[in-house]
Chains A and B, each alone.
Chain A
Amino acid sequence: MNIELRNGRVIDPAAGADRGANVYIAEGRIAAIGAAPAGFRADRVIDATGLVVSPGLVDLSARLREPGLEYKATLESETQAAVAGGVTSLVCPPDTDPPLDEPGLVEMLKHRARSLHRSRVFPLGALTQGLHGERLTEMAELHDAGCIAFSQADAAFTDLQVLMRALEYAATFGYAVWLRPQDATLSRGGVAHDGEVATRLGLPVIPVCAETVALSTMLILARETGARLHLCRISTAEAVELVRQAKRSGLAVSCDVAIHHVHLTEMDIGFFDSNCNLVPPLRGLRDRDALRAGLADGTIDAICSDHTPVDEDSKQLPFAEAEPGATGLELLLPLTLKWAREAGDALPMALARITTAPVRILGMELTGLAPGQSADLCVFDPQAWWRVEPSALYSQGKNTPLMGMELQGRVRYTLVDGAIVFETNSR
């Protein structure tokens, strides 16, 4: 289908471009921006007046809960949520049931996702079998099946020799390893940041050093092995500084932050709101400020949603017993816009954190606004207000600390490979 997006504000973070222009799409690709290509005849014209035309969002972490955890969510519901949130490509962690440690599982997942014709799904392969941290997975086989990198998700890594060897093996083939820095024993039993709020509420704690000790270890091992390391879900001010120093010293490392940690702190737990039970935990005000500073100076490369649908029963429990996680695919865009507004950042810079930066981390040509590229686009109304309510979310995960809040920024159209996979006029 030939599509013309007329009169939108076209933002291309890669080129730093931000201008009013028409976008012409043909054969799944961007044919031209500005003037129509010769002989172009649109099958559909979309009036993008007042809307932003941006590359589709690339979410570095979204749990789709398949295989195995379908009572929490399914590929159908979550990829629907993804495109409703303007996310055209997403990375899913390997902590499914069973974990993604077999090529067959990965192939099936990719096949299922492809057949839904919504977002592109890029699975992370398990770094160790069963995520147990003992035996290596067949990384080459998993890579061929479609895994873009390898990860331990939130599973603990107690044997550093295994971790080092896993990094070394991955480095052999140039595979990236994505790790969330949290020491298993230092964080044992903890659910909340070791600060004033946990003291008041009497919650078991995860000290800052649980993140920094693990982070330091990972940086040293990455340096030793030459493995390409991506650090997931940084949460503390001290960790940001460690990454800053590592980058300054020339280490090729990247890191991301979850969007909720850009906005919320331990204070938001309030009267034990289990929707604020997140991994890593919501930290203090100075940590949040440091995360924002890290985004501003590029120490933190990308923002992800860390989308984790949790069924209501698993949240309606005393805080420490509740299952951690928050729904996020449909909130990534408005919350990123909110951060941009608060930080006084220009829209292209903010959008880069959820488009071009994730693409760079993935090392793929995924999304962009240059002629010839695949037409993966997000067309959104940056001014539109909407209320976060269960009925407003396509995801089966209604678990968000922001329920009832009014947010600004609503996706109107999402295109993948030049096809409109989501559109809405209201909601």
Chain B
Amino acid sequence: MAFNPQIGTDGKLKHLLTIEGLPMEVLLHVLDTAKSFMSVTAQEVKKVPLLRGKAIFNLFFEPSTRTRTTFEIAAKRLSADVVNLNIATSSQTKGETLLDTVANLTAMHADMFIVRHSQSGAAHLIARHVGPGIHVINAGDGRHAHPTQALLDMFTIRHYKGGFNRLRVAIVGDILHSRVARSEIHALTTLGVPEVRVIGPRTLLPRQVEKLGVQVYHDMAVGLEDVDVIIMLRLQQERMSGALLPSAGEFFKSYGLTPEKLARARADAIVMHPGPMNRGIEIDSAVADGRQSVILPQVTFGIAVRMAVMSILAGN
């Protein structure tokens, strides 16, 4: 199991399943390709024929509007045919197995699967079983990974900060349950960010998280000092019922991003959020709508980044 399932025997990217294990060159190639697509999205006719005739199946086992929509827009801008499949999963009803679903869709000549699933490892499982020449993009699997989100976040950082090797980046919130956080940590460390901080209560930090190359802070004011980039994570309501947190209010008090806490960071620090935001729980409206927030540009960049990923995979 020393091989990397994402990279083919020819050394080219075959699937995008996780940032972990991808060399820096691959990540930069995606960012550079995305940059070239930025001009496409700014045009009147926003299409290039790169993926014409290709069938891209959005296989969403977990509901999502935003991510699915941005993938759909990205695919259509590349002139691909897009099919959306929202598969309701119930643990009670054992319908078609995951792999049977994939096999059936493959028989319908799918070229690319974009998969979102509530279980970690689902995208890897699917990638192991698709035929040759079919590419799998992980749009989020359980708590494990969300590589395209991490890539668009890196694109955003590079856009506003120019590079990576002199930055302090802080990721705040529920790292334990966050696939976005894990992918971002891998991306930041691979791209050479010298200081990556995670800030959160102990109940929301995974065991031995320092081994991923991050510094742990429980005090947000201290953790945000002199930081260049702040990435806020979404807090889900379930965390209160699992005895991980007492209330959203107390979470906001200690870990919510307010103008006062933001002032501890550098004056030109940018504020990011993968969305959707819970205003008043992880982020104050004044900050979300403030001049340091780049949350909306993140969404725009996401289309170009996803176009880049799809075109790179399809070209390999």
Taking Cβ atoms with an 8 Å cutoff, the residues of A that contact B are 194-196, 198-203, 205, 268, 270-274, 313, 316-321
Contacts and interface: CB of A to CB of B under 8 A. Distances in A.
Contact of B98 (A272, A318, A319): A318
B1 A317 contact: no
B120 A316 contact: no
Contact of B120 (A268, A272, A273): A272
Contacts of B124: 271-272
21 contacts: A195-B208, A196-B208, A198-B207, A199-B206, A200-B182, A202-B144, A203-B121, A203-B142, A203-B143, A203-B144, A270-B1, A272-B120, A316-B97, A316-B98, A316-B129, A317-B98, A317-B125, A318-B120, A319-B121, A320-B119, A320-B121
B212 interface: yes
B99 interface: yes
Given A270-B1, A271-B1, A273-B1, A201 B97 contact: no
A202 B207 CA distance: 11
Given A205-B207, A316-B97, A318-B120, 18 more contacts: A195-B207, A195-B208, A199-B207, A199-B208, A199-B211, A199-B212, A201-B120, A202-B142, A202-B179, A202-B182, A203-B142, A271-B5, A271-B124, A272-B121, A274-B125, A313-B97, A318-B98, A318-B121
Contacts of A274: 121, 125
B140 to A, nearest CB: 11
B5 A199 contact: no
Interface in B75-125: 97-99, 117, 119-122, 124-125
Contacts of A205: 207
B20 interface: yes
A392 to B, nearest CB: 21
A183 B163 CA distance: 49
Contacts of A319: 119-121
A201 B124 CA distance: 11
B125 A318 contact: yes
B145 interface: yes
Given A316-B125, A320-B142, A203 B208 contact: no
A195 B20 CA distance: 17
B267 interface: no
A49 to B, nearest CB: 39
Interface residues of B, number: 27
Given A202-B143, A270-B1, A320 B208 contact: no
Interface string B209-231: 10110000000000000000000
Given A195-B207, A272-B121, A201 B144 contact: yes
A201 B125 CA distance: 13
Contact of A318 (B1, B119, B212): B119
A194 B125 contact: no
Interface in B178-207: 179, 182, 206-207
The 8 closest A-B pairs by CB, nearest first: A202-B143, A272-B121, A318-B119, A202-B144, A270-B1, A199-B206, A202-B120, A318-B122
Contacts of A321: 119
A399 to B, nearest CB: 15
A370 B142 CA distance: 57
Interface string B29-66: 00000000000000000000000000000000000000
Contact of B212 (A195, A200, A268, A270): A200
A313 B98 CA distance: 10
B99 A316 contact: yes
Contacts of A199: 206-209, 211-212
Nearest to B181: A202
Contacts of B129: 316
Contacts of A318: 98, 117, 119-122, 125, 141-142
A20 B14 CA distance: 57
A274 B1 CA distance: 13
Nearest to B175: A199
Contacts of B212: 199-200
B120 A320 contact: yes
A200 B5 CA distance: 16
A201 B120 CA distance: 7
A194 B124 CA distance: 21
Nearest to A208: B207
A151 to B, nearest CB: 28
B306 to A, nearest CB: 22
A316 B208 CA distance: 29
Contact of B206 (A198, A270, A271, A313): A198
Contacts of B208: 195-196, 199
Contacts of A203: 120-121, 142-144
Contacts of A202: 120, 141-145, 179, 182
A116 B166 CA distance: 72
A196 B209 CA distance: 7
Nearest to A191: B120
A75 to B, nearest CB: 27
A271 B142 CA distance: 14
B80 to A, nearest CB: 27
Contacts of B182: 200, 202
A268 B143 CA distance: 19
B96 to A, nearest CB: 11
A196 B179 CA distance: 15
Nearest to A320: B119
B113 to A, nearest CB: 15
B120 to A, nearest CB: 4
Contact of A196 (B97, B125, B141, B207): B207
Nearest to B186: A200
Contacts of B179: 202
A205 B207 CA distance: 9
Contacts of B206: 198-199
B9 to A, nearest CB: 16
A32 to B, nearest CB: 50
Interface string B5-16: 100000000000
Most A CB within 10 A of own CB, among B129, B142, B212: B142
A246 to B, nearest CB: 27
A198 B177 CA distance: 11
A200 B207 CA distance: 10
Interface in B139-158: 141-145
Contacts of B119: 318-321
A273 B128 CA distance: 11
Nearest to B208: A196
Given A200-B182, A202-B182, A321-B119, A272 B125 contact: yes
